[in-house]
Amino acid sequence: MKLYSFLFTLISTTLIFAQSTPYVSDVWVADNGDGTYNNPILYSDYSDPDVARVGDDYYMTSSSFNSAPGLPILHSKDMVNWKLINHALLVQVPAEVFNVPQHGNGVWAPAIRYHKGELYIYWGDPDFGIYMVKTKDPKGKWDEPILVMEGKGLIDPCPLWDDNGDAYLVHAFAGSRAGVKSLITVNKMNPEGTKVIDRGVHVFDGHENHKTVEGTKFYKRNGYYYIFAPAGGVPIGWQLILRSKNIYGPYEEKIVLEQGSTDTNGPHQGAWVDTPDGESWFFHFQDLEAYGRIIHLQPMRWKNDWPVMGKDFDGNGVGEPVKTHKKPNVGKTYPIETPAETDNFDGNDIGLQWQWNANSDVVWHAKFSHKDYLRLFSIIVPEDAPNLWMVPNLLLQKFPAPSFTTSTKITLVPEGATSGKTAGLIIMGMDYATLSISVDEQGYFIKQTEAIGAIKGVEEQINAKERLKTNTAYFRVEVSAPDAMCQFSYSENGKNYKKIGKPFKAKQGKWVGAKVGLFSVSTKDAKRYGYADVDYFRITK
């Protein structure tokens, strides 16, 4: 009996330790382990970040566009080490629209705020309006989305609950839908924050000095209302601060962060966050094309009721991004941790790092706790799809670092089909490349393909093709800095790898960085059924 008790305790302790051990990336860690950190803190496409503090916990969300689930929720105790803990939007709405890939549409620039014991997230969908979800438990289920303000071109919203309980919403406009941009508008909401109740007041026009002003964040401090807003465009812009004693203005303006003499382009659009002891910090992104909009953390202080960000290296009175800095003083030291990348498929479901190319269908995959592999079923490619760009069942995750290697083991089971079944590894963007295993009447083979101009409907081209002895293959793709060049290779035994095809330069998607992932598809004319079993998906140096 004592032996059984001992074994039970040992197994339980092992499981608890395995569940609680922080994931640490093999390819990018911002925490230097000596009380300092390097930027970027996240070398991944967490575009348009916003952060809210709840006590001594910090929660980040970001744009997710057409990917599902959407609105990633990351948690940190020190603002440098982050863990992906949830998604606030499991199904993109309207569901029938986002059941089909909607590249570049969907969730734009969310804002996250803590109010009366709940976390709220507001975001703009440029085609439908401004939505909101909320929860008391960020790790649990979030409420169903509420359409707070219907309309086209309404983007980048942020709420503010004033001292008297009145609720307001600031937002910008997408020129592609609204016909105008570079305007900032404030609307009044009901106290619950569930409905806009007026037509709004334009409070700032950036056409003369701050074109493409957008990405608004609303704050109040020392009697001033502040609107933090990026301007000048994503790759080359700057961070603008507006302030006024009246919520409807007029607003004074000041540029507080720019690239200046640094190599961090377009530093803007993010979040002001304070520590419990009153330190101020600013999160922003940097656009690096195929690598996406990666996340930086800048020290911030206040001078004459204006925020001062980063460090003024060139002496012109405007802050510039720092590369290395002392970590925020949060009173304790926390373990190094990074968002998960590798997935050994040994749990009840796939890891939170995975997102589909559209709202997911339950028949696309199966993951059983007693099976240490992922099963991807052979789903028929849409009839009008000339390539994989508009295929919804692509399982993808963000690039995690400037250089990394992805490896996987895939077994194709065509279930009697002698053609039309393909599964493999993909680097996805407006151009994409694959390494896949397929079947024909002669047996199994692999092929390395690319679709240069996939977004325009260009068909895949086969760069190389090799025969296999079995239905199992080991695939690998090495991504190297600084240009995100990708080289595929394969092995039949998992030890000896051979390069295949030609190098491929990864390209960003629509408003997102390139992604790496898996797919399993079937042609319409192929015999029904079939699947691919994936043993692991590893991200290493």
β-pair partners for 397: 516
Cβ proximity of 467 and 478 under 8 Å: no
Greatest Cα pair distance in the chain: 80
Q: How far apart are CA 235 and CA 250, in angstroms?
A: 29
Residue type, 470: T
Element (H, E) at 410: strand 404-413
Q: How far apart are CA 240 and CA 267, in angstroms?
A: 11
- Burial status of residue 495 (CB atoms within 10 A of its CB: 0-12, 13-18, 19 or more): exposed
- For 527, the token pair is 């015999």
β-pair partners for 361: none
Which SS3 state, helix, strand or coil, does residue 12 take? helix
Which SS3 state, helix, strand or coil, does residue 320 take? strand
- Burial status of residue 493 (CB atoms within 10 A of its CB: 0-12, 13-18, 19 or more): exposed
> From the candidates 31, 45, 48, 50, which is the catalytic residue?
48
214 counts as catalytic:
yes
Which SS3 state, helix, strand or coil, does residue 350 take? coil
- For 170, the token pair is 């600031």
> From the candidates 50, 156, 214, 287, which is the catalytic residue?
214
Cα 192 from chain centroid (whole Å): 28
48 counts as catalytic:
yes
Cα 67 from chain centroid (whole Å): 9
β-pair partners for 365: 376
Task: For residue 154, give the nearest of 179, 136, 137 by alpha carbon.
Answer: 179
141: number of Cβ within 10 Å: 10
Q: How far apart are CA 445 and CA 467, in angstroms?
A: 4
Residues classed as catalytic: 48, 214
